[in-house]
Structure 1
Amino acid sequence: MADLRWRQELVERDGEGAAVAIRGRRQAGKSRLVEQYCVEAALPRLYFQASRGVGTAESLELFMAALRASDLPGAAALPSAGPRTWLEAFELLALAVPEDRVSVVVIDEIPWLFQQDSRLEGYLQTAWDRLLKRKPVLLLLVGSDIHMMEAFIGYDRPFYGRADPMVVKPLNPADTAELTGLGGVDALDAYLITGGFPALCRTWGDGSNALDFFAEQCRRATSPLFTIGEQMLDSEFPQPDQTRKVFSAIGSGERTFGNIAAHAGRGPHEPIKSGSLGPILNRLHDKHAIAFDQPLATRPGNGGKLYRVADSYLRLYLAMLAGAHEEVKRDRHAHALQMIKRRWESWRGRAIEPVVREALARASASDEFPWPEAVEVGGWWPRSFDPEVDLVGADRGPVARKIFYTGSIKWLGTPFDRHDLNSLRKSARSVPGASEDESGTVVVSRSGVADGVVADLVWGPEDVLAAWE
């Protein structure tokens, strides 16, 4: 919000337009942020929400209907003839925008318009340079297709250098804790379940733990816990094509290239060919739909990449909520809850790993952190996955110069004990660059540590949360 107010002040001071390209994943709160800003700013404005799946002619009609209904001073005096192109539409917009005071123009989900008309970017650039920029207007261009929004302001595109980028991210774990009123492990559970999406966080009952929340949501098929995931998938992948199969395979828990190929193929003996799967994974990564981890050590490893759905809510939806939703639709509420309970413990034990790694990386900037140079945090595994080391702190990745610590994450209901510590020490010897004499030991445990466990750094849920405070 502060960024938008600051840009409004620049427009007021300079008397000329400013454009902002706002991107972020669906449900991250982009539209809500922009709508709230518009209400608080109380400026003349046009808010146009693009529609998916319609043609250019229909989008132009919808745009003009929104423009004529707006409170922009010149909207009422626009000619009755409709525009034939987006350039003509933007010229009419320029007639409606005032010259003597600041106004706001919002085009929400502009990537859908790009898909309808490849000429739109050039038309927008022409109208901006010749007409709109000369007026005190704040142009907000909003989109959920992150890759397309990044490309839109790229150096080889017509609008390059004309719009400032702005990224709206989901809530972080500390913000999620504040919004839900939870602390410690319950707050982290809420973050993993909601992905930090504000709309989901607001459905969380005061003081509820994860299982209480699941039980409440399983009572109705229209719960946002189920419907938001369904809507996000349909928006991201409207066709049941190979890309959606690959994404669903990753969401179901397949992490390696080979397992994803087998799961998303036509059958057990007909995996997707590597020449087809590689480009699909690259596209999904470019769209920020998936992320991958690589072994972190001082020598390149043979363990390969491990893929995961980027946001934890969609990961949870694909892993168990979609199936539970089908049970709820059939009025089998108890079966849905039991399905979630059976899978929850093991799922969150894996899902918390990237959260802990990011927390440790953030903590390296603290004066109290033992290894301030350990700015890269990952894990390590060989091709056989025996052993797996949850935490490796290094100076860079994926090939480090120095390993500062190795560690383990135990996110279960029992303390981290001597057996766990001995297993960590044994596994750490396999990590290239790790040294018993020079590399520290980190333990992150949901339920504390048992007597006799000594490590250089011991964290619990509150410490993980504190990394974002």
Structure 2
Amino acid sequence: MGDARRDLPGVAVLLRGRRRVGKSRLVQVFCERAGVPSVFFQASQGADPAAERVAFAAAVGESELPGRDLFAAGTVLPTWTALFRQLAAALPADSPSIVVVDELPWLIEADPTLEGTLQTAWDTLLAHRPVLLVLIGSDLAMMERLDDYRRPFHQRGTVMVLPALNPAEVGAMLDLPAAEAIDAHLVTGGLPLICQEWRPGQSVEDFLAGSLADPTSALLVSGERSLAAEFPGHLQARAVLTAVGTGERTWSGVRAAMSPRAEPMAASSLTNALRLLEAKRVIAVDAPLSTRPAEKDRRYRVADPYLRFYLAFLEAGLPLVERGRADLLLRRVRRSWTAWRGRAVEPVIREALLRIAPELGWPEVEAVGGWWNRQNNPEIDLVGADRQGVATRIVFTGSIKWQTSKLFDQHDHAALVRDTAAVPGADPATELLAVHRSGVVAGLPVRTVSPDELIAAWRA
């Protein structure tokens, strides 16, 4: 367990990942299988630092660490420094052990001095023991900042990221063909807890019918639990996120969606809320991709596919489920599914195309986005360019036809040709691309990408 860079026996790991992605369970299983003494401490949101130290001491006292008797029941440690000093004494000096702190950002949020205290304790005490210190966090932005060069814990831990299941992994787990696997990814977001409820080979509609009928299903409860943990004291940000969750929105569109509020949100408050959501990686911000700057035409969307599905359909439908009328919620989903899916699949397809661009013959493509003007007419689903932001070359433009039975046809091709002419930087060398779910009419002069090719982007 040594670290050659530090020449000390202790190793620290900073593990981050989306809420409900399975970080805690993964580390818990690792501790159980490691066969060495361990302690697992779960922080509580909004708790008093003194109460957290008492809880930490109790966790060590109930652990298998050889020095756990130093943390007898009722042990009160006045500072984090005292706790870490006592913890170091409780660790074995000549054999491995594991210490896990889950949701470290909550501890730091309650006591900002903890970050520096932890760094000092690690350098002077803990790293001198053969201990694996695992620091877990769901606040992606804060966990990234912990390793920033300006922060006390910089380069003291190995950074690890636990991602959600990608579309290929979802398809393999659920035994679904490519197109259905991508649809399932849009619903589950690749969260293992939700995917575990999906029977192999089951259709989206059958899965929804079963899950929506169960008020305790992971599909229904994961969204509210994630939001409650993410925004306990940010009511304005929470309200803005709900507005964005109804679909891709402009700044003015978000404000209009919130107009029914008793007190209209001030422009500055809306801007601040959007910045907070972006900083937390809850929303993503897209700008038209071309050779011309277009920052004023930015759009906001919910970054996580599952949370986008939850906010679009499930949040408002929870009262129906609680009244035993999940059938009405399912009807709402059916009615809007095709239109919602057509928009929601765009970021997934753009990511896939960026991954497989070299295989498609476009190794110079470094960004895949879309393009639109202020009137959204025309609007191009796909633009591949040589750089993000303001490009110098538009390599391809494309259209997404993600319908169950309709082919990409002559009308779609003609519309793509017409609309491409409006994209700044497009020229006769710009290639045309059709990404389809069900096929393309034969003979059209357009490059094509199928669902199988998209899924292959995550299998490389």
TM-score, with structure 1 as normaliser: 0.93
In structure 1, the partner of 2:210 is 216
In structure 1, the partner of 2:302 is 309
Shift of 1:127: 1.2
Worse overlay, 39-48 or 424-433: 39-48
Q: Secondary structure of 1:391's partner?
A: strand
Shift of 1:77: 4.5
In structure 2, the partner of 1:128 is 122
In structure 1, the partner of 2:287 is 294
2:409 paired with 1:399: no
Shift of 1:303: 6.2
2:240 paired with 1:246: yes
Shift of 1:124: 1.0
In structure 2, the partner of 1:466 is 456
In structure 2, the partner of 1:3 is none
- Measured against aligned partners, the alpha-carbon deviations of 1:111-130 in whole angstroms (never above 9, x if no partner) come to 11112222211221221111
2:25 paired with 1:51: no
Q: Secondary structure of 1:397's partner?
A: coil
CA distance in 2, matches of 1:220, 1:77: 46
Q: Secondary structure of 1:408's partner?
A: strand
The answer for unaligned runs of 5 or more in structure 1 is 1-7
Shift of 1:36: 2.3
The answer to whether the 8 A contact 2:369-2:384 is kept is: yes
- Pairing of 1:148-227 with structure 2 (within 5 A): 148-227=142-221
The answer to whether the 8 A contact 1:395-1:403 is kept is: yes
CA distance in 2, matches of 1:37, 1:302: 45
In structure 2, the partner of 1:362 is 355
Shift of 1:170: 0.8
2:419 paired with 1:420: no
The answer to whether the 8 A contact 1:445-1:459 is kept is: yes
Aligned counterpart for 1:374 among listed residues 362, 365, 374: 365
Give the counterpart letter for 2:364 in structure 1: E
Identical counterparts, % of pairs: 45
- Measured against aligned partners, the alpha-carbon deviations of 1:332-371 in whole angstroms (never above 9, x if no partner) come to 12212101111111111101000110101000243xx221
CA distance in 2, matches of 1:339, 1:277: 29
Q: Secondary structure of 1:337's partner?
A: helix
Kindly tell me the number of residue pairs found equivalent between the two proteins. Answer: 457
Q: Secondary structure of 1:112's partner?
A: helix
Is the alpha carbon distance of 1:108 and 1:233 closer, same or farther for their aligned partners in structure 2, counting shifts above 3 Å?
same
CA distance in 2, matches of 1:353, 1:293: 12
The answer to whether the 8 A contact 1:408-1:442 is kept is: yes
In structure 1, the partner of 2:13 is 20
In structure 2, the partner of 1:445 is 436
TM-score, with structure 2 as normaliser: 0.95
CA distance in 1, matches of 2:210, 2:432: 40
CA distance in 2, matches of 1:259, 1:303: 13
CA distance in 2, matches of 1:191, 1:276: 33
The answer to whether the 8 A contact 2:410-2:441 is kept is: yes
The answer to whether the 8 A contact 1:302-1:382 is kept is: no
Shift of 1:156: 2.4
Shift of 1:153: 2.4
Shift of 1:302: 6.7
Aligned-CA RMSD value: 1.9
CA distance in 1, matches of 2:303, 2:295: 23
CA distance in 2, matches of 1:459, 1:150: 35
CA distance in 2, matches of 1:264, 1:237: 18
CA distance in 2, matches of 1:334, 1:275: 41
Give the counterpart letter for 1:115 in structure 2: E
2:30 paired with 1:40: no
CA distance in 2, matches of 1:302, 1:76: 60
Is the alpha carbon distance of 1:9 and 1:204 closer, same or farther for their aligned partners in structure 2, counting shifts above 3 Å?
farther
Shift of 1:267: 4.3
The answer to whether the 8 A contact 2:40-2:102 is kept is: yes
Is the alpha carbon distance of 1:365 and 1:266 closer, same or farther for their aligned partners in structure 2, counting shifts above 3 Å?
same
Shift of 1:375: 2.0
CA distance in 1, matches of 2:310, 2:3: 42
The answer to whether the 8 A contact 2:57-2:71 is kept is: no
CA distance in 1, matches of 2:88, 2:320: 53
Shift of 1:277: 1.9
Q: Secondary structure of 2:348's partner?
A: helix
Shift of 1:265: 4.4
Shift of 1:227: 0.6
The answer to whether the 8 A contact 1:100-1:136 is kept is: yes
Give the counterpart letter for 2:456 in structure 1: A
Q: Secondary structure of 1:341's partner?
A: helix
CA distance in 2, matches of 1:322, 1:64: 38
In structure 1, the partner of 2:423 is 431
Is the alpha carbon distance of 1:301 and 1:114 closer, same or farther for their aligned partners in structure 2, counting shifts above 3 Å?
closer
Shift of 1:158: 2.1
The answer for unaligned runs of 5 or more in structure 2 is none
Shift of 1:464: 0.9
CA distance in 2, matches of 1:79, 1:323: 48
